[in-house]
Amino acid sequence: MPDIELVNMSRHVCRNMNLRIMDREIFVIVGTTGAGKTTLLNVIAGVADYKGSVLIDGASVDKVSPRRRGVGYLFQGLALFPHMTVEANIAFGLCAAGMEKSAADRRVLSLMEMMHIKHLACRYPHTLSGGEKKRVALARSLAPSPQVLLLDEPTASLDHQTAKYLRTELVSLLKRLEMTTVYVTHDLREAEEIADRIALMSHGRIEQVSTPRDFFFDPRNEFVSEFVGMPNIIECTRSRILTSGLVEVVSDEMTMVLPYDGGNIRKIAIPPDDIYISDVKPPGPALNRFTGKVVEISRYGSSVRVRVSIGKNRLLAELPASAFDELSLEEGKDVHVVIKLRRLRYVES
Residues making contact with other proteins (CB under 8 A): 42, 45-47, 65-69, 71-73, 75, 77, 79, 81-83, 92-93, 96-97, 124-126, 140-141, 143-144
Rounded to the nearest whole angstrom, what is the least distance from the CB of residue 203 to other proteins in the complex?
Answer: 24
Residue 150 vs 228, nearer CB to other proteins? 150
Residue 89 vs 202, nearer CB to other proteins? 89
CA geometry: angle 271, 276, 277, nearest 5 deg: 130
From the CB of residue 77, how many other CB atoms can be counted at a distance below 10 Å?
A: 11
Which residues is 205 bridged to in the sheet?
202
d(C-alpha 264, C-alpha 15), whole Å: 43
In the sheet where 71-74 sits, what is the strand order? 71-74, 148-152, 180-184, 26-31, 197-202, 205-210
CB within 8 Å of 125: residues ≥ 6 apart = 78, 80, 81, 82, 84, 86, 89, 133, 136
Residue 46 vs 272, nearer CB to other proteins? 46
Which residues is 60 bridged to in the sheet?
55
Rounded to the nearest whole angstrom, what is the least distance from the CB of residue 82 to other proteins in the complex?
Answer: 4
Task: Give the DSSP H/E element, type plus range, for residue 112.
Answer: helix 101-114
CB within 8 Å of 221: residues ≥ 6 apart = 207, 208
Instruction: Collapse the DSSP code of 318 into the 3-class scheme (helix H, G, I; strand E, B; otherwise coil) and give the result.
Output: strand
Residue 82 vs 332, nearer CB to other proteins? 82
Rounded to the nearest whole angstrom, what is the least distance from the CB of residue 189 to other proteins in the complex?
Answer: 28
- Residues 107 and 99 sit within 8 Å (Cβ to Cβ): yes
CB within 8 Å of 284: residues ≥ 6 apart = none
Rounded to the nearest whole angstrom, what is the least distance from the CB of residue 1 to other proteins in the complex?
Answer: 17
Give the DSSP letter string of 165-230.
HHHHHHHHHHHHHT-EEEEE-S-HHHHHHH-SEEEEEETTEEEEEE-HHHHHHS-SSHHHHHHTT-
Please provide residue 316's backbone torsions phi and psi, each rounded to the nearest 5 degrees.
Answer: -100, 125
Rounded to the nearest whole angstrom, what is the least distance from the CB of residue 173 to other proteins in the complex?
Answer: 19
Rounded to the nearest whole angstrom, what is the least distance from the CB of residue 148 to other proteins in the complex?
Answer: 10
Residue 125 vs 219, nearer CB to other proteins? 125
Residue 29 vs 91, nearer CB to other proteins? 91
d(C-alpha 285, C-alpha 283), whole Å: 7
Rounded to the nearest whole angstrom, what is the least distance from the CB of residue 113 to other proteins in the complex?
Answer: 20
Rounded to the nearest whole angstrom, what is the least distance from the CB of residue 174 to other proteins in the complex?
Answer: 18
Residue 35 vs 45, nearer CB to other proteins? 45
d(C-alpha 20, C-alpha 8), whole Å: 11
Residue 135 vs 307, nearer CB to other proteins? 135
Residue 6 vs 198, nearer CB to other proteins? 6
Rounded to the nearest whole angstrom, what is the least distance from the CB of residue 45 to other proteins in the complex?
Answer: 5
